[in-house]
Structure formats: structure tokens, C-alpha cells
């Protein structure tokens, strides 16, 4: 065994980066190494002439793979080209990404691309761009994805820098929280992104404290954490400035915490406008609105040792909430109306603050915490809903799309009550009643001393939309419950 030339730690054969200090053991620049979703690619300037062959452009009206009708070019880069296309089979617009075969490290990498894309098709979350299809046609690798309109986090941040505007801590934290929600769903499905960077985060609307609609791109070409490692496919590398050291130390050791590292780089960059390189300055050193708890969280996330980072996206999210809430007191100027806040200064970290007890849990539920083991017979007045009850179809399996599934019982008069458990282990209590298609409910986490009110709307089918508020009336969260079917599947 050899030793790290920087810190002297013992290295395993083939280690490129020291697992202790992260020092590069080969001394070569990583700038020439690039990836697409964790697959090794080659810099065109270093490729052989035969490897620099371009792809033919597809003009509008061209049919690709017998299924996609090209409509227009969305973007073009060194990795390939993205088209807006019409999927004849699904009868909808999609983003069709054609990847240059010469940018992938051999046929093995193409096979892994297809394998990982198939894995990612099972992920459905409002913060992740859905993957519909992946394959290869006449030697051309492609990925068909959800078509969205928006602006990359990179471009949005550059606009702020040009305008000399700092990103408020609570807005930056909201962005990070949304990304963490998406990562939690992907990691729960056994998929690691491995190339998380601002270019791969698409903002659907202007970020604010109350909401930051966004989607993570390129999960369709991520590596399945539960899959077998194929050392010959060239996996393991991310974008150099954002990748965790272990991604090139040993590819098979790069798990969910590698995404935590990359997201910590992004968080730091949003607050400071530069990357955390060398002896980086803590964000609080140049910003009065950033508490030292944020410094500590980012430092943990950037640890060279994966074991020292938050181990899951949910854990990181909870620590983010706690870190933000010890900062300067946040009091809205006026009491907000009981409607969702989409911008301005009201409500954001009223929302993220509830994560101390159930920030992720509130994403789950209205009625879902559910009548599991309910001693009051589902709210009591009217008994269980029979076949003639308008609410009969609401009893059964409830899925919030974030990996949380519940068994729910609703009484014949629409009343419900029960207990459940949040993703952070807090016991929850819920009571409420549907009157027709609308209803109100109360959700509490007694162990954390937190109480919330909410409104719900049933579409008279298999979906329930909800909004939650804290006891002062500030908007907290909103989402949708899927009854007796997984998200994305047809209603029963």
C-alpha cells in the first residue's frame, strides 16, 4: 500500500484521491475530465480525430427512432443536442436529448447509460424531470424526458451577480430545500445523481422564500446505487469543481453523500458568489444575515470524508432548517392572508421552520397521516363509509409521491382522525372533515410543540390537493395525495 503524499494516510491500490484529505495523487488537472450524469466522457480537444465526429442535425419534421417527430432545437453543447419533439406514442411534447457517442467512453458506457435511464424511469417527483424513455438507435444514444420551460440556476445566479444583488439566505435555503426533496426521492429509489451542478437545476419560476419551483435534470443518466459496479464503463467522475473526492477515489464508494457534497458547493456559491476553493471564507464572514450555523452545515457537507457529512438528504434538510432558524429573528410586516405566498418577504421560513418537526412530513399529508390504529373510528360520527358513501373510494392506500405510503380510513360523513409518524420520527395527530369536495383539518406534532391548520380539496376521483398553515395563518406547504395508485399511474 502507498501513502498520500499530502497527509501520509494509507491508500488502496488505484486510489486517485486521498480518502482523508482529498488530495489528487496523480497531480494532473481534472479540468479535461467531464461527465454526463456520472458517465466518463472525453474532452474534444484531447480526442483523436475519429472521435470528434459530430452528429447530423435533425430538421423540424424529421422522425427519430420511429416515435419522435422533431419540432425545434432547444439547446446544443459539447455533449450533444436537445430537441423539443412530439412523442407519437404518448401524444405529448418531450425533450429529446441526443448524446454524442464519441463523448462516452466506449460501448460499455452506452450500455450503462441505457441501464441507468431505465432505473430512473421509476422516479416521479415534482422536483425531478421525469424520464420517459432511453435507448440507442443506429448507434445514437438518446434520452426522452419531460419537457419544461425555465431558467437554469446557473443563468439565474449570473443575472443576480450582474445586477450586484445578493441572494437572501432564506431564498437560497428554499432552493436547497427543494433540491433536497428531489434528492430524497431519488436516493430512496436507489439512484444517485453524481453530477449535480447549477446547470442541472432548472428554475420553473422566480425563487422566493415561500416557494421555489424547480426540477433537477439528468437523473436519467445517473448511476443506480444498488446496481453492480462495472469497472470497465468509466463511471465515477462528476464535474470537477462540484464533485466529491470519493467519486474518483473509488467509483463504487460514491453514494448519496456525494450528492450532498455537490449541493453544499452550490449552497456556498449561492451565498458567496464564488466556489469554496482552498482556504475558503465562511459565508457569515461577509454577510450579516448568515448565521455561523450555516457555516458549520456547509463545512460538514464539504467534508472530504463521506462519513462526516449529513448521511441523507432528509438529515441535511433538517439541519438546514435548524441552522437557518437560529439566525436573525424573522417577523413578517403584516399577517399574511391564508393563501399561498408566491413571492415577496412573507412566510418562507415559517414554511421551512416547520421542518424541525415535520418539514418533509408536511409535504406528505393532509389526511394521510391517517387513521392507522384510530381509536375513534375515523372521527366518529357516522361510522365507516359503505359502498354508497361518496367517500368510500378514499379509504385505502395513499401515496404522496415522496416515498411515503399510508393506509387511510375515512368515515361515511367525511370525518377523519388518526395518528402517524413523520419522516423525522415525530408522532403526528390529525383530525378533520370533508364537506363535499372541500375540507379543513388540524395537524399537530405534540413532541415538538407544533400545530398546523390546513385546507384540502378532493377532485372526486383519486387526488386530494392540500395547503397547510401555521397557527398564525402563514402559508406552510402544499402538495397532492394520490389515492390507491402511485404517482404517474392511471387512477384505479
Residue numbers in the known binding site are: 97
195 catalytic per annotation: yes
β-pair partners for 384: 411
Q: How far apart are CA 476 and CA 458, in angstroms?
A: 19
- Quick one: which H or E segment has residue 361? helix 359-364
Distance of CA 366 to the CA centre of its chain: 22
CA dihedral over 242, 247, 253, 254, signed as positive or negative: positive
Query: Quick one: 464 exposed, middle or buried, by C-beta within 10 A (0-12, 13-18, 19+)?
Result: buried
How far, CA to CA in Å, does 478 sit from each of 347, 365, 397?
13, 9, 20
**Distances, alpha carbon 179 to alpha carbons 7, 165, 231, 293, 385, in Å:** 34, 22, 29, 20, 39
Hunting for cell 479535461 — which residue is that?
Answer: 32
Cα(first)–Cα(last) distance of the chain, in Å? 59
The grid coordinates listed for 307 are 462519513
| Lookup: cell for 274 | 464564488
Q: Which residues are known binding-site members for ATP?
A: 97
Pairing state between β 214-216 and 33-36: unpaired
Task: Considering the candidates 195, 259, 399, 400, report the single residue annotated as catalytic.
Answer: 195
Q: Is the dihedral of CA 481, 487, 491, 492 positive or negative?
A: negative
Alpha helices in 83-168 (DSSP H): 107-120, 153-162
Q: Which residues contact 113 (CB under 8 A, 6 or more apart)?
A: 37, 39, 99, 104, 134, 141, 143, 221
Q: H helices then E strands: how many in the chain? A: 9, 23
C-alpha cell at 192: 444517485
DSSP state of 457: E
The grid coordinates listed for 220 are: 436519467
- The set of cell numbers assigned to 77 is 453543447
Query: SS3 of 81, please?
Result: strand
What's the DSSP call for residue 392?
Answer: G
Query: How far apart, in whole angstroms, are the C-alpha atoms of residue 290 and residue 271?
Result: 9
Cell 426522452 found at: 144
DSSP assignments along 162-227, one per residue: HTT-PPPHHHHHHHHHHHHHHHHHHHHTTEE-S---GGGEEESS---SS---EEE--GGGPEETTS
| Active site residue ranges | 195
Amino acid at each position: 500500500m502507498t501513502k498520500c503524499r499530502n497527509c501520509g494516510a494509507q491508500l488502496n491500490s488505484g486510489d486517485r484521491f486521498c480518502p482523508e484529505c482529498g488530495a489528487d495523487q496523480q497531480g494532473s488537472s481534472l479540468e479535461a475530465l467531464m461527465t454526463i450524469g456520472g458517465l466518463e466522457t472525453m474532452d474534444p480537444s484531447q480526442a483523436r480525430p475519429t472521435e470528434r465526429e459530430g452528429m447530423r442535425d435533425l430538421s423540424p419534421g424529421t422522425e427519430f427512432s420511429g416515435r419522435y417527430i422533431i419540432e425545434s432545437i432547444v439547446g446544443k453543447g459539447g455533449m450533444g443536442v436537445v430537441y423539443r419533439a412530439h412523442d407519437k406514442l404518448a401524444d405529448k411534447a418531450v425533450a429529446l436529448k441526443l448524446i454524442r457517442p464519441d463523448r462516452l467512453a466506449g460501448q460499455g458506457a452506452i450500455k450503462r447509460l441505457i441501464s441507468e435511464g431505465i432505473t430512473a424511469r421509476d422516479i416521479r417527483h415534482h422536483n425531478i424531470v421525469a424520464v420517459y424513455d432511453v435507448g440507442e438507435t443506429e448507434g445514437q444514444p438518446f434520452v426522452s424526458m419531460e419537457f419544461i420551460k425555465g431558467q437554469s440556476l446557473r443563468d439565474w445566479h449570473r443575472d443576480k451577480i450582474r445586477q450586484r444583488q445578493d441572494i437572501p439566505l432564506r431564498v437560497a435555503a428554499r432552493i436547497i430545500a427543494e433540491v433536497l426533496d428531489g434528492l430524497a426521492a431519488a436516493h430512496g429509489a436507489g439512484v444517485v445523481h453524481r453530477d449535480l451542478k447549477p446547470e442541472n437545476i432548472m428554475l420553473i419560476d422566480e425563487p422566493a422564500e415561500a416557494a421555489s419551483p424547480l426540477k433537477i435534470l439528468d437523473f436519467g443518466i445517473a448511476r443506480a446505487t444498488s446496481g453492480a459496479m462495472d469497472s470497465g464503463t468509466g463511471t465515477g467522475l462528476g464535474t470537477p469543481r462540484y464533485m466529491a473526492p470519493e467519486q474518483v477515489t473509488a467509483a463504487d464508494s460514491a453514494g448519496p453523500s456525494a450528492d450532498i457534497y455537490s449541493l453544499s458547493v452550490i449552497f456556498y456559491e449561492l451565498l458567496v458568489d464564488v466556489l469554496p476553493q482552498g482556504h475558503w471564507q465562511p459565508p457569515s464572514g461577509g454577510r450579516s444575515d448568515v448565521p455561523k450555523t450555516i457555516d458549520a452545515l456547509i463545512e460538514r457537507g464539504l467534508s472530504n470524508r463521506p462519513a462526516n457529512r449529513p448521511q441523507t438528504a432528509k438529515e441535511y434538510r433538517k439541519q438546514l432548517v435548524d441552522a437557518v432558524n437560529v439566525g436573525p429573528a424573522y417577523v413578517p410586516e403584516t399577517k399574511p392572508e391564508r393563501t399561498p405566498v408566491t413571492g415577496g418577504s412573507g412566510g418562507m421560513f415559517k414554511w421551512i421552520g416547520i421542518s424541525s418537526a415535520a418539514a418533509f412530513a408536511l409535504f406528505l399529508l393532509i389526511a394521510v397521516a391517517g387513521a392507522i390504529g384510530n381509536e375513534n373510528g375515523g372521527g366518529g360520527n357516522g361510522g365507516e363509509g359503505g359502498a354508497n358513501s361518496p367517500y368510500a373510494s378514499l379509504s385505502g392506500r395513499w401515496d404522496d409521491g415522496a416515498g411515503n405510503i399510508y393506509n387511510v380510513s375515512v368515515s361515511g360523513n367525511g370525518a377523519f382522525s388518526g395518528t402517524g409518524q413523520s419522516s423525522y420520527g415525530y408522532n403526528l395527530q390529525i383530525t378533520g372533515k370533508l364537506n363535499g369536495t372541500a375540507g379543513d383539518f388540524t395537524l399537530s406534532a405534540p413532541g415538538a410543540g407544533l400545530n398546523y391548520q390546513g385546507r384540502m380539496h378532493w377532485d372526486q376521483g383519486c387526488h386530494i390537493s392540500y395547503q397547510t398553515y401555521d397557527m398564525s395563518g402563514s402559508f406552510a406547504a402544499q402538495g397532492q395525495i394520490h389515492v390507491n395508485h402511485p404517482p404517474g399511474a392511471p387512477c384505479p
